[in-house]
Homo-oligomer: A and B are copies of this chain.
Amino acid sequence: MKRLVLIIAVVLGSFAFTQQKKTKVIFFGDSITELGVKPGGYITRIDSMCRAEGLSAQYEFTGAGIGGNKIYDLYLRMEEDVLAKNPDVVVIYVGVNDVWHKTLLGTGTDPDKFEKFYQAVLNKLKAKGIKAVLCTPAVIGEKNDMSNPQDGDLNRYSNIIRSIATKNNLQLADLRRLFIDYLVKNNPENKERDILTYDRVHMNDKGNQFIADAMWKLLKSL
């Protein structure tokens, strides 16, 4: 009799266990996200924090970042790289190249087109019942007096993303705001790199942890 109870308990337990669906999170973005899955990257760090908190049964994290991507690159590859994988949550982290490529290649994204393709990406996610989390682009240069060449344009595109988040009633990881606040306090020599990035754009260890902290907190709140 005890044995039967034990068996039932085990069966029920494992049933309960296998029933709990993991929340599948895809990080969708550019090179910053591509590097996020490397050792020390922000996605790797989120995964570690998740495990350390004993929540690894509840979350699954995947990176879908490709260097140089702009919003319409995300749009063009989202069927294959995101929708086909049936995520529950997609964290969209894009905007740096939409601004940067204006001077680097002459192929940045017009602000109105940035908004249109961003909305088109969100519409496709919404149609599948996938939650979207939006991020503003952190920095191109870490000077803290708004004298990095792309600061104005980054602020403009961040405003667009903030407005899209509001319109669509979506969660926003306002990395741009967080980075600016941090740099005002923690970049006394007004250096253009080596505070949270190693090259003005891509995250060093501190930057990866900084993003991981912000995103992990937000993801748990969903």
Contacts and interface: CB of A to CB of B under 8 A. Distances in A.
Interface string A74-99: 00100000000000000000000000
A189 interface: no
Contacts of A76: 113, 116-117, 120
Interface string A104-121: 111111100100110010
Complex copy number for this chain: 4
8 contacts: A76-B113, A76-B117, A107-B110, A146-B151, A146-B152, A147-B155, A151-B152, A152-B152
Interface of A: 72-73, 76, 101-110, 113, 116-117, 120, 141, 145-156, 158-159
Closest 8 CB pairs of A and B: A151-B152, A102-B106, A147-B155, A103-B106, A149-B153, A147-B156, A152-B152, A107-B110
